[in-house]
Amino acid sequence: MDLTFSAEDLAFRDEVRRFVADQLPADIRRKVVHAQRLSRDDYLRWQRILHARGWGAPSWPAEHGGPGWSALQRHVFDEECFAGGAPGQISFGLKMVAPVIMRFGTPEQQRRFLPRIADGTDWWCQGYSEPGAGSDLASLRTRAVRDGDHYVVNGQKTWTTLAHHADWIFCLVRTDPDARKQEGISFLLIDMKSPGITVRKIELIDGEHEVNEVFFDNVRVPLEQRIGEENQGWTCAKFLLGHERTGAASLGASKAKFQALLCVARQAPGDDGRPLIEHARFRDRLAQVQLELMALEVTVLKVMSTRRSAPGPEASVLKLKGSEIRQTLTELHMLALGPYAAPHLPELLAPDHEGTPLSDLLDGAGAAATGQYLNFRKATIYGGSNEVQRNIIAKQLLGL
């Protein structure tokens, strides 16, 4: 794979950089730069701006409404958006369920759902994990029983990210309780406004409302909202997980976080009063994570440029290293801030906060350092725990 930027690639980078600088609303950029809490409307406004430019679905092929970009262009777009202070696009629709609909959905389903994902009309969430069925996802127990031209769904999903914002949820449900675990599962698309759905908040260790429990009580789902054949949902699930784990590399976000960490390291004093960047031990840790980011970048580009219908087991490498790097960056940020990182102050995340920061180092991304550290403890668990990823790597890549 040629990683050399051509003149066209450099011109594209400049185009994206100018677009983000000119079109990203200032209030959204300010929230991102200062690590403040983003609203549902903030994400949707930015999605609609991108869609109007034809960039709402950067990873999609042209035949489904995407720009049809190369792997390098998608990488450049992602990097420049994060570097310019843009929020990440919500991946559940764009990068998870959309590829499943493209691959396994009918033409009618593609026409119905894909345009509304790209333009931000529909916000999606993921109904995979259940109490007792997380890493062992095939043990899920949420049932879907046929009743005429509908399924009747009963059960519970948990750790459902941003379900309180979602219009739709894609769900794995058990349609044949007598089949082997992986063979009795179907993939359903469910309107979150359906009678019988209850969303209950889960408060995370950082005090934020990000995930939820979702309960299904005799929820009726039309048969035409099943993707693929009945009892073949595990095929869709594995396909989707490859895309989710590739996205979990979070390369653009991690590179932006690294640059923010460098800024803090140039300001934060060590024990002797010199900036931390001048201390060899801390500088060595910065160099180590920078090298790991460079290696991750090359690996991501190789995976993205492979002409395949879905990422293979190499996606586990991206998920494993990407999540570990994100955790390392939050740890180093905490270390750099020292005692200023000790208090977790959720009120500083509110856009209307008018108080005076405890220190210049607490302004900007530093204000949320402790919360981000706590939040990213989950990064090595979601999308399949890193222990599971190591098993996949050992068996499918190394043949052990």
Show which residues are catalytic.
Answer: 244
Q: Are 171 and 153 in contact (CB under 8 A)?
A: yes
Residue 189 corresponds to which tokens in the numbers above? 């698309």
Q: What are phi and psi of 117, to 5 degrees?
A: -75, -45
Residue 357 corresponds to which tokens in the numbers above? 């920061």
Provide the 10 A C-beta neighbour count for residue 221.
Answer: 20
Half-sphere exposure of 117 (CA within 13 A, CB side): 32
Q: Which residues are within 8 A (CB) of 47 and not within 5 positions of it... i.e. 6 or more apart?
A: 56, 89, 90, 119, 120
CA distances from 59 to 71, 121, 175 (A): 8, 18, 32
Q: C-alpha 160: how far from its chain's center?
A: 13
CA geometry: angle at 122 spanning 184 and 191, to 5°? 45
Q: Are 27 and 37 in contact (CB under 8 A)?
A: no
Distance CA 375, CA 206 (A): 6
Torsion angle of C-alpha atoms 131, 136, 137, 142, degrees rounded to 10 = -40
Report strand pairing: 226-227 vs 150-157: unpaired
Torsion angle of C-alpha atoms 315, 318, 321, 322, degrees rounded to 10 = -130
Distance CA 79, CA 379 (A): 20
159: exposed, middle or buried (Cβ count in 10 Å: 0-12, 13-18, 19+): buried
